[in-house]
């Protein structure tokens, strides 16, 4: 389907009906997934979507919407409904005109025609190899999902923007079990030639084997080494807190902290629209502005919030190419590497834990960053610089801003993390965090 | 939007002609409107029109799902061909062939009760109500300022036409409305991000615009705003020794959902969700297992009128009914679709749901709740020498087999000699599932529901549900403190 004419025609219709400002994105995606459990395929999925997103402003009244009906008549009706609804809204003092181009857009290589065109049977063969590898490496049973997705996107705005982009990604999320012990593996790539699912399967199986014999532990305060998967989960919440919309809604622990120290000086956090291997690659944001590299935290100092043109106006700042029409957000986060190897980090720990995976992070108070999260899969007890045995039933209960200031080591090794629990792709290292509160359920 | 039955029937017929032994097709249209008011100013109103076709086909025991929103005859045929081809391609890696339990298939139409159609309500009416709600809370309460306020009203109208090769043919319509908020409460230089209602949930029901009158959000936001303002001023830590704990319906409903509903999902028990939502501490042979006291009664019921999780037939054409998950502390029933029911040699209890055309139907809860008992709130407090009443919560989580869980109170009070005393700051209830249900010794007569979105599946599906229950009492629990 040719997306450019769709975006242009809907834009033209909105303008014809009275829109003074409008942005239209036509997006097409084709997602193929093989889900497996108990060493067998449980279902395959093929999902083809064409969705048109539109934003329109008229006399400072603002509206946005999406439709998954791409027929010409339906798109005209969609535009009519948007404008008719927009006319009866109240004018908003928050209105800011859409940015005007031209912009210089970044380029990338995160598109692989082999992912877009892979035929039936190809993913299934991968899954066979992935299951075989997990069993060969000592796993008893395995479950997961292998997903190949191709996206094409075109934008047209009243700011003179006409631009298109395309990208692909291939993802493995896998869990391997030995008895009731488990290990987790991930592989995320934008190109087939850099996709290594068998290494993920092997790592998950190795973790599962090591997690079989469990030892005792007590509630208390410990040093934690977070794997890239766990680090990415916490860092994505820092990225969300950097959204100017979260800040002005009072649901961010970064309110009022620009140019202040919010983390240890080892931490630099950058958001990229485009980066090698970034599985949420975008060359333009939802207002048509070119995406760029935004340094959110530079050696511990908060440098900027993420803005669209509307939040930028209210903060007397410039857009950072992070729109979301309502909520600016990160595209692909990167934590800069440190100097340590994971083994060197373990040697630094007098008493603590190595956490390889986690889930269910929830905040008691988004403004202070008080939260808890549950380690899942293999978790290891460390004493006097050595991994002693595996443990279970931990919960990390702490404050995210306190933890950011308590990072004492960052690894050289980093991985792109994107899965069920981490929905902002993050290039994450291992993190060593000092003095973290760990709790246990009673009963 | 008219759903074209011929297109769905074409998909089923075409799938069968390609050799599939089972085919279902679901035309699924959802019209959503979202209005947001941030600090008294409107953010852009959001209109979402989601419409497409979801297909499942089974070929010699291999299952495949496909979806598209390009609804021409040709594209539907191509989608069916793709789905059947993919089922065939996966046969060699399918273990036990997937078979469905034999069920009576539903035919006809069903809908949620609706008086004033949501499609007839203009966005300006919705925004007007948000402004009035904002007026109710914007000055804060008890010296606590509500400095930042994000209020949301969301409506949806979900229409489906479903047909399968086993004889089901169903048309349905469910409108829903919900109201939620994020508030930054500021007091004495401290800031607390809370939600009304607490726990990141909503007040909501299925039905038309008349739902607003039933919910009476003005009274609710005034009372809840006042209560939560008092709560954020609380500084007292909970007692460190084991105490009796009374939980409010907000907390009880969440516990019912997380530690009774999720572990009863048969697909989790069989390991199908292992790499995403996880598995279950319950096993295939755990029916009859005692996990709680004789006071523990938990059910899930899709047929409750006005509920967010309302349906009369599930996404496989099976008639819905109430499912009693825990009865007198004993595991009584699991949630099944036709595939898991076949594995368990039982019947489906109609737990198959899908939230959009492009999502596979999977086992979901609908409205999960602790059944009410016969205590008044005052009777529940009687005899408690020292305890804590946790009325609402913010933070919670539970491990992926649904055994180790935690709920952190927002509005909470000390109980001394049977009376409520001063507020308690963030008491932490962190217990195992058997410990929780075994400590339950009294259930209130009252019952209350909250609207929530339940996450499961890959790709992720957020399903509208109710969670609910009465006040309950737990004996001898050690609470934590932040």
Q: Which of A389, A367, A391, A410 is nearest to A220 (CA)?
A: A391
Residue B24 has pLDDT above 90, yes or no: yes
Is B296's Cβ below 8 Å from some Cβ in A?
no
Asked whether B308 and B463 are in contact (CB, 8 A), the reply is no
Confidence of residue B266 (pLDDT cuts 50, 70, 90): very high
Q: For the residues A77-94, what does the mean pLDDT come to?
A: 93
What pLDDT, on the 0 to 100 scale, is given for residue A118?
A: 86
Cβ contacts of residue B441 below 8 Å, gap of 6+? B293, B295, B473, B474, B475
Q: For the residues A394-405, what does the mean pLDDT come to?
A: 98
CB contact under 8 A, B435 and A441: yes
- Residue of chain A nearest B339, judged by CA positions: A42
Confidence of residue B421 (pLDDT cuts 50, 70, 90): very high
Task: Please state which CATH number belongs to domain B5-232.
Answer: 3.30.2290.10
- Residue of chain A nearest B480, judged by CA positions: A439
Lowest mean pLDDT among A296-300, B92-96, B396-400, B443-447: B92-96
Confidence of residue B59 (pLDDT cuts 50, 70, 90): very high
Distance from chain centroid for Cα B65: 24
Q: For the residues A136-147, what does the mean pLDDT come to?
A: 98
DSSP element (H, E) containing B419: strand B419-423
Q: For the residues A94-108, what does the mean pLDDT come to?
A: 95
What pLDDT, on the 0 to 100 scale, is given for residue A332?
A: 98
Q: Sort out which chain A residues have CB atoms less than 8 A from B49's CB and list them.
A: 65-69, 78
Domains contained in chain A, CATH given: 3-210 (3.30.2290.10), 220-439 (no CATH)
The tokens describing B5, both together, are 């039955």
Least CB-CB distance to B93: which of A32, A127, A442? A127
Cα dist. B99→A144, B58, B77, B448 in Å? 21, 9, 24, 39
Burial class (CB in 10 A: 0-12, 13-18, 19+), B370: buried
Q: For the residues A407-426, what does the mean pLDDT come to?
A: 98
How far is it, in rounded angstroms, from Cα A89 to Cα A96? Answer: 16
Chain A residues 86-105 within an 8 A CB cutoff of chain B: 86, 88-90, 92-94
Residue A304, SS3? coil
Backbone angles phi, psi at A343, to 5 degrees: -65, -40
Least CB-CB distance to B44: which of A62, A141, A443? A62
Per domain, the residue ranges of chain B are 5-232, 243-481
CB contact under 8 A, A177 and B477: no
Is B42's Cβ below 8 Å from some Cβ in A?
yes
CB contact under 8 A, B127 and A89: yes
The tokens describing B359, both together, are 């999502």
CB contact under 8 A, B434 and A143: no
ω into residue A170 within 30 of 0, thus cis? no
Least CB-CB distance to A364: which of B64, B93, B426? B426
How far is it, in rounded angstroms, from Cα B194 to Cα B232? Answer: 9
Is B79's Cβ below 8 Å from some Cβ in A?
yes
pLDDT tens digits along B223-261: 999 999 999 999 999 999 999 999 999 999 999 999 999
Chain B residues 320-379 within an 8 A CB cutoff of chain A: 357-358, 360
Q: Sort out which chain B residues have CB atoms less than 8 A from A46's CB and list them.
A: 64-67, 79, 82-83, 86
CB contact under 8 A, A249 and B406: no
Q: Sort out which chain A residues have CB atoms less than 8 A from B182's CB and list them.
A: 249-251, 366
CB contact under 8 A, A124 and B93: yes
Q: Which of A230, A228, A225 is nearest to A382 (CA)?
A: A225
Asked whether B175 and B114 are in contact (CB, 8 A), the reply is yes
CB contact under 8 A, B404 and A70: no
Q: For the residues A135-164, what does the mean pLDDT come to?
A: 98
Alpha carbon of B160: minimum distance to chain A alpha carbons (Å): 15
CB contact under 8 A, A441 and B430: yes
- Residue of chain A nearest B181, judged by CA positions: A249
Q: Which of B1, B47, B53, B460 to mutate to test the interface with A (most CBs of A within 10 A)?
A: B47
Cα dist. B401→A283, A435, B4, B306, B413 in Å? 40, 28, 42, 31, 31
How far is it, in rounded angstroms, from Cα A386 to Cα A380? Answer: 10
Residue B2 has pLDDT above 90, yes or no: no
Which of the 8 DSSP states describes residue A417? E
- Residue of chain A nearest B456, judged by CA positions: A420
Residue B80, SS3? helix
How far is it, in rounded angstroms, from Cα A3 to Cα A29? Answer: 11
Q: Sort out which chain B residues have CB atoms less than 8 A from A47's CB and list them.
A: 66-68, 358, 459
Query: Residue B142, by phi and psi: left (phi above 0), alpha (psi -120 to 50) or beta?
Result: left
What is the percent of chain A where pLDDT is above 70?
A: 100
Asked whether the CA dihedral A38, A42, A46, A52 is positive or negative, the reply is negative
Residue A184 has pLDDT above 90, yes or no: yes
Cβ contacts of residue B422 below 8 Å, gap of 6+? B234, B236, B413, B414
Least CB-CB distance to A47: which of B42, B67, B193? B67
**Would you report the helix, strand and coil content of chain B in percent, each value rounded to 5?**
25, 40, 35
Give bridge partners of residue B393 from the DSSP assignment: B409
CB contact under 8 A, A439 and B430: yes
CB contact under 8 A, A120 and B85: yes
Least CB-CB distance to B358: which of A49, A374, A440? A49
CB contact under 8 A, B44 and A128: no
Q: For the residues B375-391, what does the mean pLDDT come to?
A: 97
Q: Supply the angle between the helices B73-90 and A122-136 in degrees, to the nearest 10.
A: 30
Asked whether B194 and B227 are in contact (CB, 8 A), the reply is no
Q: Maximum Cα–Cα distance for chain A, whole Å?
A: 71
CB contact under 8 A, A46 and B65: yes
Q: Sort out which chain B residues have CB atoms less than 8 A from A33's CB and list them.
A: 458-459
What pLDDT, on the 0 to 100 scale, is given for residue A364?
A: 98
Residue B1 has pLDDT above 60, yes or no: no
Is B62's Cβ below 8 Å from some Cβ in A?
yes
Q: Sort out which chain A residues have CB atoms less than 8 A from B64's CB and list them.
A: 43-46
Is B405's Cβ below 8 Å from some Cβ in A?
yes
Alpha carbon of B375: minimum distance to chain A alpha carbons (Å): 26
CB contact under 8 A, A44 and B46: no
Cα dist. B476→A164, B240, B424, B431 in Å? 62, 12, 18, 12
Mean pLDDT of chain A: 97
Asked whether A253 and A244 are in contact (CB, 8 A), the reply is no
Asked whether A378 and A368 are in contact (CB, 8 A), the reply is no
> Is the full-model pTM beyond 0.95?
yes
Distance from chain centroid for Cα A163: 24
Mean pLDDT of chain B: 97
Asked whether A375 and A398 are in contact (CB, 8 A), the reply is no
Is B17's Cβ below 8 Å from some Cβ in A?
no
For residue A137, the tally of other CB atoms under 10 A from its CB is 19
CB contact under 8 A, A360 and B397: yes
């Amino acid at each position: 389907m040719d997306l450019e004419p769709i975006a242009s025609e809907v834009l033209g219709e909105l303008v014809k009906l009275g829109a003074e400002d409008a942005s239209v994105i036509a997006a097409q995606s084709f997602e193929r997934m093989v889900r497996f459990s108990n060493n067998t395929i449980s279902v395959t999925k093929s999902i083809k979507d064409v969705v048109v997103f539109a934003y329109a402003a008229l006399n400072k009244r603002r509206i946005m919407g999406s439709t998954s009906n791409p027929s010409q008549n339906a798109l005209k009706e969609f535009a009519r409904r948007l404008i008719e609804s927009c006319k009866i809204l109240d004018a908003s003092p928050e209105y800011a005109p859409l940015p005007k181009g031209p912009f210089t857009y970044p380029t990338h290589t995160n598109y692989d025609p082999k992912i877009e065109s892979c035929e039936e049977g190809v993913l299934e063969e991968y899954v066979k190899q992935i299951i075989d590898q997990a069993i060969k490496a000592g796993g008893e049973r395995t479950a997961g999902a292998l997903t190949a997705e191709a996206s094409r996107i075109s934008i047209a705005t009243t700011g003179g923007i006409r631009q298109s982009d395309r990208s692909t990604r291939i993802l493995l999320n896998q869990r391997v079990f030995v008895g009731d012990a488990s290990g987790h593996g991930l592989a995320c790539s934008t190109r087939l030639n850099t996709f290594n699912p068998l290494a993920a399967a092997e790592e998950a199986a190795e973790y599962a084997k090591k997690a079989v014999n469990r030892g005792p532990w007590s509630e208390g305060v410990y040093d934690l080494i977070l794997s890239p998967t766990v680090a990415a989960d916490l860092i994505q919440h820092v990225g969300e807190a950097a959204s100017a919309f979260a800040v002005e809604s009072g649901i961010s622990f970064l309110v009022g902290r620009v140019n202040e120290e919010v983390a240890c000086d080892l931490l630099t956090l950058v958001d990229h629209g485009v980066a090698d291997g970034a599985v949420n690659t975008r060359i333009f944001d939802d207002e048509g502005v070119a995406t760029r590299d935004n340094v959110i935290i530079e050696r511990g100092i908060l440098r900027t919030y993420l803005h669209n043109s509307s939040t930028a106006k209210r903060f007397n700042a410039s857009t950072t190419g992070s729109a979301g029409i309502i909520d600016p957000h990160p595209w692909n986060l990167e934590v800069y590497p440190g100097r340590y190897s994971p083994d060197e980090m373990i040697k630094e720990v007098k008493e603590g834990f190595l956490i390889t995976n986690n889930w269910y992070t929830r905040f008691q108070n988004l403004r202070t960053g008080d939260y808890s999260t549950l380690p899942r899969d293999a978790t290891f007890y460390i004493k006097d610089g050595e991994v002693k045995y595996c443990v279970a039933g931990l919960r990390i209960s702490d404050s995210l801003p306190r933890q950011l200031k308590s990072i004492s080591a960052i690894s050289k090794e980093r991985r792109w993390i994107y899965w069920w629990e981490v929905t902002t792709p993050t290039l994450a290292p291992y993190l060593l965090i000092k003095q973290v509160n760990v709790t246990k359920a009673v009963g | 939007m008219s759903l074209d039955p011929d297109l769905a029937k074409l998909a089923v017929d075409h799938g069968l002609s390609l050799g599939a032994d089972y085919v279902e097709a679901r035309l699924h249209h959802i019209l959503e409107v979202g209005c947001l008011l941030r600090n008294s100013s409107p953010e852009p109103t959001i209109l979402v029109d989601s419409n497409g076709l979801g297909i499942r086909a089974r070929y010699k025991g291999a299952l495949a799902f496909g979806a598209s929103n390009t609804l021409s005859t040709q594209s539907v045929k191509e989608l069916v061909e793709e789905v059947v081809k993919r089922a065939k391609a996966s046969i060699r890696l399918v273990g036990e062939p997937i078979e469905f339990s034999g069920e009576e298939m539903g035919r006809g139409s069903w809908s949620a009760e609706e008086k004033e159609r949501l499609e007839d309500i203009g966005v300006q009416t919705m925004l007007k109500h948000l402004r009035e709600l904002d007026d109710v809370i914007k000055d804060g309460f008890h010296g606590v300022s509500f400095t930042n306020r994000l209020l949301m009203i969301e409506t949806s109208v979900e229409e489906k036409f479903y047909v399968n090769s086993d004889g089901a043919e169903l048309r349905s319509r469910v409108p829903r409305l919900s109201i939620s908020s994020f508030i930054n409460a500021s007091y004495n230089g401290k800031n607390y991000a809370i939600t009304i209602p607490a726990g990141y949930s909503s007040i909501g029901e299925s039905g038309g615009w008349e739902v607003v009158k039933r919910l009476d959000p003005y009274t609710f936001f005034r009372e809840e705003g006042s209560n939560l303002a008092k709560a954020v001023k609380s500084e007292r830590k909970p007692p460190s020794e084991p105490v009796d704990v009374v939980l409010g319906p907000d907390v009880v409903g969440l516990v019912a959902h997380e530690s009774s509903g999720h572990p009863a999902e048969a697909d989790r028990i069989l390991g199908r969700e292992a790499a995403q939502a996880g598995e279950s501490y319950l096993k295939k042979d755990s029916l009859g297992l005692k996990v709680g006291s004789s006071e523990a009664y938990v059910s899930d019921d899709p047929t409750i009128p006005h509920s967010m999780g309302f349906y009369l037939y599930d996404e496989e054409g099976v008639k819905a009914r109430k499912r009693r998950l825990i009865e007198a502390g004993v595991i009584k029933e699991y949630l099944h679709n036709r595939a898991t029911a076949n594995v368990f040699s039982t019947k489906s209890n109609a737990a198959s749901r899908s939230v959009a055309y492009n999502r596979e139907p999977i086992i979901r809860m609908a409205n999960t709740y602790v059944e009410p008992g016969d205590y008044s709130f005052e009777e529940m407090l009687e005899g408690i020498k020292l305890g804590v009443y946790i009325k609402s919560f913010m933070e919670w989580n539970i491990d992926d087999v649904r055994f180790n869980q935690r709920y952190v109170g927002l509005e909470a009070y000390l109980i001394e000699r049977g009376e409520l005393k001063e507020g308690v700051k963030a008491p932490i209830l962190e217990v195992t599932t058997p410990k929780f249900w075994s400590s339950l010794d009294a259930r209130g007569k009252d019952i209350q529901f909250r609207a929530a979105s339940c996450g499961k599946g890959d790709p992720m599906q957020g399903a509208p549900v109710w969670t609910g229950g009465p006040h309950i009492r737990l004996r001898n629990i050690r609470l934590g403190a932040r």
